[in-house]
Structure 1
Amino acid sequence: MLLGGDDSVPIPFFEAFQDCKGLTVVQIDAHLDWRDQRNGSGYTFSSTMRRASELPWVKRIVQVGLRGIGGSGRAEFDDAKAWGAKIFTARHVQRHGIESVLGAIEDDGECLMTIDCDGLDPSVIPGVLVPQPGGLSYFDVIDLIRGVAAKSRIVGLDIVEFVPERDVQNLGAIAVARIICNALGCIGRRNV
């Protein structure tokens, strides 16, 4: 489990899972994060999923909650789709529910969940760098974690881009803590 930092922190975290036979990365984020370079660097918060796609042990990427352009554009979106990333916008989740996302998760596989706090609506976690209205609800995230844990084994989890000084009455801190507790419970039940 990895907690804290910006959304470039998961890039080296993904490296720790090279012994997985075929890893599914489930990303919750407001942004696509498929940019190859930003200001001359390929290891930024805009390139997280691009770097994941280059790892030979990553066989599936499922992205959930997207609703902002962020550092990616049409070319990056096309690259993600060409690679085979399954992209579910926040609006899609609102209309079709988390069950529609769970269909993209392999049964009895290995999953790493990477959660950028801006993937949730700012009413849930207001303390983020770039708040975007219309994100996932707290229960969307909990239901996604539970659903993934019921289908596959969660081998890793990170939560990044929480900005405490921008939080409002500790709403985000409480939500992050509860998400972690729920995730640990789901992982523990799966491994019993």
Structure 2
Amino acid sequence: MYYLVDTPFIGANKDIDPADADLVVFGAPHGTVYRDIDNEPYADAPDTLRRALEDDARWLDHWDFDLDGPLLGDRGFAVADAGNLKTSPLDGAGNRHLIREATAQIVDGGAIPVMIGGDDSTPIPFIEALKPLGPLTIVQIDAHIDWRDERRGEPMGFSSTMRRASELEHVEAIIQVGIRGPGSARRAEVDLAKGWGAKIVTARDLHRDGTAAVMQHLKSGANCMITFDCDGLDPAIMPAVMAPTPGGLSYTQSIDLIDAVVKKSRLVAFDMVEFVPSRDPNGIAAMTAARILANGIGCLARGS
């Protein structure tokens, strides 16, 4: 199912079996492709984010001022990196099966799954596999609401992720953060999202009111997952996406939001998607994305 990687994500111990870990990272290089839209630009995203913090990984005992202590804290939190799934660019159904099965295996083992995509269709089977954990709140960080029923005849693509999630019986709440600019949504999709009960927190809302704009919608103690589309970040710090849109989240807003979610809810899963390595010539965007993901792991190590 997986192929192993030379460089595990920061914090992961090569000597820890995923079955014995508290948290398991895995890569899903490909999701569900659209006709005439190639998903190959995302293929190296998991490995690129791993390599971005390869040097930092040698200093896990050093103080991380974003977390007020070493990355993994002092509770013996064990992180494993299972490698990348053997996905294929054109095999949407096969890719969804691999992601669903891998996630289910991690959940069944009692660990927290952390997936690095891949395009923004990869969270669809990831979310499906979280059903055994019970009622789920999704915090989506994204420029777009992703509520299309289909696009180019494909209902499982990256414009439909939250629409498909809303149809799952275990998904009880969706909070959409960082929404801004134009996207694939039309008035009908916005009305459907609001009618379902999705809470749309625009980027302007977050810039004006801070994390309180999100936390007011998150039930205390809820089972929660974060799905983090890199285009939720401002293109000044994250140009490495297919749809850069001005006005997105900063690095500090992102880690503050993750910290607030972990402190108020039970974070049971995390994914990061839509990173495009070819649009990051100097590696700064990869470091930014990887640091946000590492920060999420650090918060989980403290709050799990």
Taking structure 2 as the reference length, what is the TM-score of the superposition? 0.62
Stretches of structure 2 that go unaligned for 5 or more consecutive residues are: 1-113
Q: Note the C-alpha offset of 1:68.
A: 2.5
Pairwise CA RMSD: 0.9
Listed one character per residue, the Cα deviations across residues 99-119 of structure 1 (whole Å, up to 9, x for unaligned) are 221111111111110011000
Stretches of structure 1 that go unaligned for 5 or more consecutive residues are: none
Q: 1:160-179 alignment to 2 at 5 Å? A: 160-179=273-292
1:65 aligns with 2:178: yes
Q: 1:60-139 alignment to 2 at 5 Å? A: 60-139=173-252
**Paired residue type of 2:274:** E
Q: Note the C-alpha offset of 1:21.
A: 2.0
Listed one character per residue, the Cα deviations across residues 121-165 of structure 1 (whole Å, up to 9, x for unaligned) are 011211000110110111111011000000111111110000011
Q: Which has the larger radius of gyration?
A: 2
Contact 1:117–1:159 (CA under 8 A) maintained in structure 2: yes
Give the number of aligned pairs.
191
Listed one character per residue, the Cα deviations across residues 22-78 of structure 1 (whole Å, up to 9, x for unaligned) are 100000000110000101111011000000000000000000000132111110000
The runs of at least 4 aligned residues of structure 1 exceeding 2 Å deviation read none
1:96/1:125 CA distance change after superposition, 3 Å: same
Contact 1:126–1:171 (CA under 8 A) maintained in structure 2: no
Aligned to 2:266: 153
**Paired residue type of 2:152:** N
Q: In structure 1, how many angstroms separate the alpha carbons of the residues matched to 2:248 and 2:219?
A: 25
Query: Aligned with 2:214: secondary structure?
Result: helix
Aligned to 1:3: 116
Aligned to 2:155: 42
Contact 1:118–1:128 (CA under 8 A) maintained in structure 2: yes
Identical-pair percentage: 54
Q: In structure 2, how many angstroms separate the alpha carbons of the residues matched to 1:135 and 1:168?
A: 21
Taking structure 1 as the reference length, what is the TM-score of the superposition? 0.97
